[in-house]
Amino acid sequence: MDNLNGVAAIAKGNNHHAVVKNPLRDDAFDHDDHIKIELIAKKFAEIMDILGLDLSNDSVRETPVRVARMYVNEVFKGINPKNKPGITVFKNEYNYHHPLVELNIPFTSFCEHHFLPIQGVANVAYLPKEYVIGLSKIHRLVDFYARRPQVQERLTMQIAQELLITLQTEDVGVVLKATHGCISCRGVEDLGSSTVTSVFRGLFEKNHTITSWLLGLSGV
Ligand SMILES: Nc1nc2c(ncn2[C@@H]2O[C@H](COP(=O)(O)OP(=O)(O)OP(=O)(O)O)[C@@H](O)[C@H]2O)c(=O)[nH]1
Ligand SMILES: [Zn+2]
């Protein structure tokens, strides 16, 4: 159990910087969340005011603080390493040395260029060595890295890198299929297209049958 606790500690610790980084300043967490909410609400009220919205109207009066809370506590909470989920791993006592695939994990992220939703599913696979991970923790990791201003490529890499580190395996495959609000709601306004990104490491890179199978599972 000591070993197990050791690995759990690595997973829980601040390995936020071990993976591909989001563009964040060093002082990103100098303000407490409640201060951030207060500051963002003020700025958002200004934006609404500039747009000509009547902030004395009952329906929109609370919108600045709603948006501020949503940014800090919900859609961008994954920026802050303190919100990283504790990841439980277990000794692979049953010696399962075959792929495990977690399919159709839904996620919502936000594109860092337009702050519009990126919504889709993740297929995550790995080949266990000494440790296996609690299934729900794969979902929680996808969610944690999604809740940031993101690009899909970085999100895919962060999930893969986190699993490589946490599970101490070389064999990981991550496929994300998503639609981008900035493609559908504005700009080119193309409904119905989707974006697929993938990271294949170790077995999942070398064995093309498994790679195509994993991509096939994403409906590509
Ligand atoms: N590679 C990548 N590009 C993204 C992602 N999300 C949004 N984009 C693109 O980021 C680009 C930003 O380009 P800009 O030309 O600066 O922005 P824009 O003028 O609003 O672009 P249009 O969407 O073409 O109107 C756009 O082409 C978006 O489609 C992503 O996850 N990955
Ligand atoms: Zn965008």
| From 152, 158, 161, 162, the catalytic residue | 152
In this prediction, residue 184 carries a pLDDT of 97
- pTM, whole model, 2 decimals? 0.90
Closest of 71, 148, 162, 75 to residue 112, by C-alpha = 148
Pocket probe mutation, ligand 1, options 108, 113, 198, max atoms within 8 Å of Cβ: 113
25-60 pLDDT per residue, tens = 999 999 999 999 999 999 999 999 999 999 999 999
| Token digits of residue 128 | 């266990």
Closest of 87, 175, 169, 173 to residue 128, by C-alpha = 169
111 is catalytic: yes
182 is catalytic: yes
152 is catalytic: yes
Least confident span in 12-16, 40-44, 165-169, 195-199: 12-16
In this prediction, residue 196 carries a pLDDT of 95
Structural domains in the chain, CATH included, are: 33-79 (1.10.286.10), 87-217 (3.30.1130.10)
Q: What is the per-residue burial (b if ≥16 Cβ within 10 Å, else e) of 69-104? A: bebbeebbbbbbeeebeebbbeeeeeeeeebeebee
62-90 pLDDT per residue, tens = 999 999 999 999 999 999 999 999 998 99
Instruction: Provide residues with CB under 6 Å of ligand 1.
Output: 111, 113, 151-153, 180, 182-183, 187
